[in-house]
Every structure is written in structure tokens, then in C-alpha cells.
């Protein structure tokens, strides 16, 4: 007799035929994270002459539900670096609150005059992301690392695949489609950075955040913005998309009270 527990209480073979136990064994390979759960949308950033501006809204969506509306997705790391994250929020929290916090603590207790700068932190993060994707267990994020490094503004992105990319104007998520063209109008290439003032950069980023709020259904009008210069990091939480105009909505089907 078969004493294995999975054989107990089964229909008798001689009456019902051989029991099909195939569902008990999993022939599937191991699966790790296949999709993000609670997500943040775009991060946008732009270099200017003397620094970088970076912004991300405060929304964490659960599917299409606007689940949390006060999530901080920008994180200051060290003295002159800000890391912004889109994608899975819990993975972002792991990166921000575990890896980066302990990275900085370990750097600072050496007390030897060395400090991690934006390019170092960027390399570290991209290695972490790449290593996780090689384990087929990615951290489901797209990151922008903005900072002041070696007397220059620094801006680069890294994603869940370990892809790395650098440009004077960057945006993740929906912003990669909607904001980048707006940003490139102001800053087509690295050489253009020299002619962009801080005010201009902030205005452009604010404009991007407004447009993203118009057209990205997973976005929020409340966002955080940080300006990194050679001096320090200035952060502004609870920014609100300014000068909104929803006039166009009148001409679109499905908005407001309408006659068909």
C-alpha cells in the first residue's frame, strides 16, 4: 500500500482509474517577482549651470487605485546626491532605507575624509540592480541619480535590468515619453547645460510635472522637488502643480457633464 499522505483519501484506482497527481508536482521553474505591486510613476530631472533639479510626485498607486498620496520618492544620500525612484515602492524602500542608509553609515564612520559622491552611489546602485536581475529577482525600479560631483552636475539613470544611461535631461516611466521631449527642447545636449539657469531648470521641471499630471493617470499634482548645487541639497516637499488649466477637457468626450 502506498503510505504517502498524498495518496490518502483519493478515489480508488480500480473504480475511477489512475489518479492524476500531476498537479501536485510543480514542473514550473522558480518564479520571483514578475511585476511590481505598489508603484510610483515618473521621476524627472534636468541639469543646469551649477547643479541639477530633480522631481517626483508623492503618489503610490496600487494598480489604478491612488493608494498612498504622501510617499517620498526622492532620497538625499550623503551631502550632494539625491536618488529618485519610480516603479515598485517596497523595492524602493529597500533600496532607500536599507541599502543606501547603511552604505552612508559605513562610509561616514570611517572618518577618513572620504565621502561617497553621486557617481560612486550611482555605480553602486547600478551594480545592485544588475546583480539582482542576473539572479532573475530584480528590484523593480527605475532610478535617477542626481548630484554634484567633482565640480560638475551629475545625472544618470539605472533600471531593473541593470541598464545604465546618462544624459543632461532624464525622465523615467511615463515621463520618458512625455517629459523628455519637453526637457530636450530646453536642453538638447550636454553643451546646452551651460546656458540653462537654475530658474529656467526649475520652471521646466515644474512644467513637466504639470503636463505629467494632465496626461499620466497614475500621477498626482503633489510632488517633491530637490535642487542639488555645489553648496548643498535644497529640498521642497509638497509642491503643487501650478497654473493648471483643464479647459481642454470641455472639448473631450467623457469629461464633465456632456451631451452626446
Partner 1 sequence: MPSSVLQPLPLQESIHHFPVMTSIGTGYDLSNSVFSPDGRNFQVEYATKAVENGGTAIGIRCKDGVVLAVEKLIGSKLLVLGSNKRIASVDSHIGIACSGLIPDARHFTSRARSEASNWRKLYRSPIPISSMADAMGGYAQAYTLYSSVRPFGVTAIIGGMDEAGGPGLWMVEPSGVGWGYFGAATGRGRQAAKAELEKLPLPNITVEEAVRQAARIIYFAHDDNSKDKDFELEMTWVRLEKGSAEDAAVKGWGKHEEVPKELVAEAERLAKESMEGGGDEEMEE
Partner 2 sequence: MFRNNYDNDSVTFSPQGRIFQVEYALEAIKQGSVAVGLVSKTHAVLVALKRNAEELGSYQKKIIGIDTHLGVALAGLAPDARVLSNFMRQQSMSSRLLYNRPVPISRVVNAIANKAQVNTQHYGRRPYGVGLLVAGVDETGPHLWEFQPSGMVLEYKGAAIGARSQSARTYLERAFEEFVDSNREELVLHGLKALRDSLAQDKELTTANTTVSVVGIGENFKLYDGDEVGEWLEKLGNVQSSRGGRTGEEAVESMDTSE
Residues annotated catalytic, as ranges: 33
Nearer to partner 1, 105 or 259 (CB): 105
Q: Which residues contact partner 2 by CB under 8 A?
A: 110, 112-114, 116, 119-120, 122-124, 127
Q: Which does 215 bind (CB under 5 to 8 A by kind): partner 2, partner 1, none?
A: none
Q: What is the CA radius of gyration of the chain?
A: 24
Question: Smallest gap, in angstroms, from Cβ of residue 162 to partner 1?
Answer: 24
The string of DSSP letters for 206-248 reads HHHHHHHHHH-TT--SEEEEEEEESS-EEEEEEEE--S---GG
Q: How far is the CB of 102 from partner 2 (least distance, A)?
A: 14
Beta bridge partners of 151: none
Name the site residues for partner 1 (rule: CB under 8 A).
97-98, 101-102, 105-106, 108-109, 111
Largest CA distance in the chain: 85
Q: Which one of partner 1, partner 2, none interacts with residue 114, CB within 5 to 8 A by kind?
A: partner 2
User: Residue 123 in 3-state DSSP?
Assistant: helix
* Residue number, 107 or 203, with CB nearest to partner 2: 107
DSSP characters for 170-208? EE-TTHHHHHHHHHHHH-SSGGGGGG--HHHHHHHHHHH
124 binds, among partner 2, partner 1, none (CB under 5 to 8 A by kind): partner 2
C-alpha cell at 9: 483519501
Q: Which does 108 bind (CB under 5 to 8 A by kind): partner 2, partner 1, none?
A: partner 1
Judged by beta carbon, residue 101 or residue 194, the one nearer partner 2 is 101
Amino acid at each position: 500500500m502506498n503510505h504517502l499522505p498524498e495518496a490518502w483519501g483519493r478515489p480508488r484506482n480500480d473504480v475511477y482509474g489512475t489518479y492524476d497527481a500531476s498537479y501536485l508536482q510543480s514542473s514550473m521553474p522558480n518564479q520571483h517577482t514578475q511585476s511590481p505591486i505598489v508603484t510610483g510613476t515618473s521621476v524627472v530631472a534636468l541639469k543646469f549651470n551649477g547643479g541639477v533639479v530633480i522631481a517626483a510626485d508623492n503618489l503610490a498607486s496600487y494598480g489604478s487605485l491612488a493608494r498612498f498620496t504622501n510617499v517620498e520618492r526622492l532620497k538625499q544620500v550623503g551631502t550632494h546626491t539625491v536618488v529618485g525612484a519610480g516603479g515598485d515602492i517596497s523595492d524602493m524602500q529597500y533600496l532607500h532605507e536599507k541599502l543606501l542608509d547603511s552604505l552612508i553609515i559605513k562610509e561616514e564612520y570611517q572618518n577618513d575624509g572620504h565621502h561617497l559622491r553621486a557617481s560612486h552611489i550611482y555605480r553602486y546602485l547600478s551594480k545592485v540592480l544588475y546583480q539582482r536581475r542576473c539572479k532573475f529577482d530584480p528590484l523593480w525600479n527605475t532610478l535617477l541619480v542626481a548630484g554634484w560631483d567633482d565640480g560638475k552636475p551629475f545625472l544618470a539613470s539605472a533600471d531593473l535590468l541593470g541598464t545604465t544611461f546618462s544624459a543632461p535631461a532624464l525622465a523615467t516611466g511615463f515621463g520618458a515619453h512625455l517629459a523628455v521631449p519637453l526637457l530636450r527642447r530646453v536642453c538638447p545636449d550636454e553643451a546646452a547645460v551651460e546656458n540653462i539657469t537654475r530658474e529656467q531648470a526649475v520652471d521646466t521641471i515644474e512644467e513637466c510635472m504639470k503636463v505629467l499630471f494632465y496626461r499620466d493617470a497614475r500621477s498626482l499634482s503633489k510632488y517633491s522637488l530637490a535642487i542639488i548645487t555645489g553648496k548643498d541639497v535644497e529640498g521642497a516637499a509638497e509642491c503643487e502643480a501650478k497654473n493648471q488649466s483643464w479647459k481642454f477637457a470641455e472639448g473631450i468626450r467623457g469629461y464633465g457633464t456632456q451631451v452626446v
